Amino acid sequence: MSAVRKACPTQVSLCISALDMCDPPALALFPRGNIFKSSQLRLPKNNQHKNCNLNIVHENLKMGSDGESDQASGTSSDEVQSPTGVCLRNRVHRRISMEDLNKRLSLPADIRIPDGYLEKLQLSSPPFDQPLSRRSRRASLSEIGFGKLETYIKLDKLGEGTYATVFKGRSKLTDNLVALKEIRLEHEEGAPCTAIREVSLLKDLKHANIVTLHDIVHTDKSLTLVFEYLDKDLKQYMDDCGNIMSMHNVKIFLFQILRGLSYCHKRKVLHRDLKPQNLLINERGELKLADFGLARAKSVPTKTYSNEVVTLWYRPPDVLLGSSEYSTQIDMWGVGCIFYEMAAGRPLFPGSTVEDELHLIFRLLGTPTEENWPGISSIEEFKSYNFPKYKPQPLINHAPRLDSEGIELLLAFLRYESKKRISADEAMKHSYFRQLGMRVHSMPESISIFTLKEVQLQKDPGYRNSSYPESGGWGTPPDASELHLVNH
């Protein structure tokens, strides 16, 4: 077995216990490979109830944290025995409907089940009046097609990284587009850890502004994560706008970033790799956080195992100087950099090395002192660079499209002392977002802010594509002031 498959046994165990929590739960997962042996399907040998159809009931929420257990009751459906002299009676049969099946297995409403599957279920299903075990759930979903590579049609290649290639695909189960993140398992180390970390986190993160993990497929050579498909990332969106976004749209996108991060941070999950390429956007304008491969990592690398340089542009100075005392504020610096990039049309700190990155930061915000960054003078890495004593520059000179409230919020993101950076929750309440109204603050976590009629995107002044979707609010004209900026 390669070193890569031995990389994270603890996280592998965590991931396997979490796999049933995907949306819908992925099953028949990791059928091969020694470290995944515990997740292989083991169907009940005793089929004494296979012809007994009972009424379906909802999950018993008292059975465990995930609502199910392999030992849901004192005697499972495979072990029920009749006391001497007592005769068990079958209950009145009721046909299992598609609605019943969807509720039972947490399936999407537009699922397409195989021909004859419901009929087969009527004859061979286990008793449905008992909580569904993980083993039975995996078996049922595997029959439908989850956890199988042939369920997904691979279409265009969307991108490639050190360990993974992302394809546009189509699900045969729903006929919907999906994103297939194919992670290669032949590398020496690292890939399974990031993949398993991403899976174990995403199974718990259910939010309108976080990408949805639909399924997981394991083969000898790859691990494929099946995500919802979104049309583009924020970097592509800005490129399509000619880097001139409507300031109203900047506000809506920034609010969605904060909304997703606030949800994560309340659950002690740090993203740690925020950048425009990891923020996905669909036609409606819904923005979702993606790529949680570095979340909760013990360190934030500046290079990958293949020596590929990781983007430094969105890393806070404390991390660049070697700090490993991470908190939720590590993400907030990156939010500030992305906020500026949307407003100004260019990266804020596009450094090529750690020293270059720090130099750009200090030249704009001023070289840090004990007054604005207590303890900075004792950091060896900082002393070794011997930076000039720069004075801070007015940010309004670099981001003239931001109003005073926007500049105030930007500065709150870019504080040197990490504990003084504004939190995601506090930032959402900032007066900069006043125009979005009050209802955006009381939306259920799983509901998009675009369900509110007052939240609509405007047509971006520099957009290069003349066609816009009719729905989702893309047709609102830009402000005259923004057109003035475009023409001059």
Among candidate residues 5, 369, 430, the one with its CA nearest the CA of residue 193: 5
User: Taking Cα atoms as reference points, which of 293, 212, 312 lies closest to residue 15?
Assistant: 293
Secondary structure element (H or E) that encloses residue 233, with its range: strand 232-233
Which of 273, 291, 318, 331 is the catalytic position? 273
275 marked ligand binding residue: no
C-alpha–C-alpha distance, residues 42 and 424, integer Å? 44
447 CB-near residues (< 8 Å, 6+ apart)? 208
273 is an active site residue: yes
Instruction: Return the percent helix, strand and coil in the chain, to nearest 5.
Output: 35, 10, 55
278 and 488 in contact (C-beta within 8 Å)? no
> Residue 203 to residues 101, 155, 216: CA-CA distances in angstroms?
21, 25, 11
- CA 456 from centroid of its chain's CA atoms: 23
Residue 17: partners with Cβ closer than 8 Å, 6 or more residues away: none
Residue type, 199: V
Backbone angle region of 33, left / alpha / beta, with phi > 0 → left and psi within -120 to 50 → alpha: left
Task: Give the number of other CB atoms < 10 A from CB of residue 204.
Answer: 11
How many whole angstroms separate alpha carbon 466 and alpha carbon 462? 10
The token duo for 112 is 């397409």
Q: Which residues, including other chains, have CB under 8 Å from residue 380's CB and lie 6 or more apart?
A: none
Could you say which DSSP state residue 309 is in?
A: B
Q: How far apart are CA 262 and CA 270, in angstroms?
A: 10
Report yes or no: 368 and 359 within 8 Å, Cβ to Cβ.
no
**Residue 305: both structure tokens together:** 């195992």
Q: In angstroms, rounded to a whole number, what is the distance separating the alpha carbons of residues 325 and 73?
A: 44
Helix (H) or strand (E) holding 166: strand 164-171
Q: How far apart are CA 7 and CA 1, in angstroms?
A: 11
Whether 465 contacts 277, CB under 8 Å: no
The SS3 of residue 322 is coil
Residue 253: helix, strand or coil by DSSP? helix
Q: What is the Cα–Cα distance from 443 to 431, expressed in whole angstroms?
A: 18
Q: Which single residue is written with the structure tokens 């979490």?
A: 18
Residues annotated as part of the active site: 273
Binding residue numbers for ATP: 181
Binding residue numbers: 181
